[in-house]
Amino acid sequence: MAAFGTVFMPQMTLATFENSNWSSPELVSSDSIQLHPGAHVLHYASTCFEGLKAFRHENGSINLFRMDRNIERMQQSSQLLSLPAFDASFLQKMITDVVKHFHNDVPKPPGSMYIRPTHIGTEAAIGKAASPTSSSMLYVLLSPVGDYFASGDQTLRLLLEEDGSRCAAHMGMVKSGGNYASALQPILQARASVNADQVLFCPNGDVQETGAANFLLIDGNEIITKALDSSFLHGVTRDSILTIARDMGMTVSERELSVDELLERAAKPESEAALSGTAAVLAPVGTLIHKGKEIPVGDASPGKTTLKLRKALNDIQWGKAEDKHGWLTQI
Ligand SMILES: Cc1ncc(COP(=O)(O)O)c(C=O)c1O
């Protein structure tokens, strides 16, 4: 199977912002774009993106999951990066148009169509280090994806990083390329030094998130995760899992979680930990690595509650359970 995100539908929808106006979106080839080498994005990183999925139900219908949330987050990212604004309905139409065009290619469960809206600053102006781009390009790429869990339910190893941070504190809630670039070196070092899968960033002992997912600690009937602030990404999966957990009668605690408390709770036999994100859904964490010590989470196997929550979310996405929060948009 091809690696996640390496296969693309041959066309995408694209619109440009020039002279204070958005062009009408068009369906164009997805294998290239034309960009001036001096484009603002290439020098001053005026770029943001989103990740959401379309699911095929048994009756053949195609359903987008919580598209409104991803569009809202992209509008917020664009605003915080001083990229041109757009209406939610504008991007919504670009997404639905391109998914409709390729509806026959949306994989069956456990696969899905991953949707990648992208917004970049295109003005050719290398003197604009301290000024926003006056032009931009917005496009929506599609990538069919298979079963992320094809290799079975392995658990993840996370290195707790207390000294560094994933990105600048005020940029955490922006889904921007620079944040991922800034997290790469710590992640590569963690892989090489302790064979960790991911780094759990815990600046000054405050448990935050990994390079591309939110972190949840499950202790019996309680689920604990950092309360929203501007320092980390407000995951749509995080919000969905917390909502499902509340529906199941669990106690949801959105608050600060220190590394000390995490390590203490993780050692309990009934504890579980998981990473939430659009790609991984809810991935079980088996081991925390801290100051050279390996701490198993619970019994280090995929947690029962983690698997139950993941199935509950998948069942809604795949149309096997009632969508009582109205998260799906059928197209
Ligand atoms: C840094 C970061 N945190 C959290 C998430 C999870 O967000 P979501 O559940 O909206 O995919 C992602 C993935 O998109 C991410 O890149």
Query: Could you read off the pLDDT of 215-230 as tens digits, one per residue?
Result: 999 999 999 999 999 9
238 CA to middle of ligand 1, Å? 8
Q: Could you tell me if residue 252 is inside a domain?
A: yes
Query: Of 105, 121, 145, which marks where a domain is finished?
Result: 145
Residues 15 and 68 placed together within one structural domain of the fold = yes
**Residue owning the nearest CA to atom 15 of ligand 1:** 212
Query: Of 145, 170, 190, which marks where a domain is finished?
Result: 145
Q: Could you tell me if residue 283 is inside a domain?
A: yes
pLDDT tens digits, residue range 261-279? 999 999 999 999 999 999 9
Residues 185 and 271 placed together within one structural domain of the fold = yes
Mean pLDDT, residues 82-109: 98
211 CA to middle of ligand 1, Å? 8
Mean pLDDT, residues 130-140: 98
Residues 310 and 184 placed together within one structural domain of the fold = yes
Give the model's confidence band at 235: pLDDT under 50 very low, under 70 low, under 90 confident, else very high.
very high
Indicate whether 148 pLDDT > 80.
no
Mean pLDDT, residues 90-106: 98
Mean pLDDT, residues 143-154: 75
Indicate whether 61 pLDDT > 80.
yes
Q: How many domains does the chain have?
A: 2
Q: Could you tell me if residue 150 is inside a domain?
A: no
* Residues in the ligand 1 pocket, defined by CB under 6 Å: 51, 209, 212-214, 233, 235-238, 276-278
Q: Determine the pLDDT at residue 150.
A: 56
Residues 172 and 93 placed together within one structural domain of the fold = no
Which atom of ligand 1 is the closest one to the Cα of 175? 16
Q: Which of 113, 76, 74 is nearest to 91 (CA)?
A: 74
Domain at 105, CATH number: 3.30.470.10
Indicate the top mutation candidate among 65, 69, 214 to test ligand 1's pocket, ranked by most ligand atoms within 8 A of CB. Answer: 214
Query: Of 124, 145, 166, which marks where a domain is finished?
Result: 145
331 CA to middle of ligand 1, Å? 24
208 CA to middle of ligand 1, Å? 12
- Residue 282 sits in which domain range? 156-317
Q: Determine the pLDDT at residue 146.
A: 86
Q: Could you tell me if residue 198 is inside a domain?
A: yes
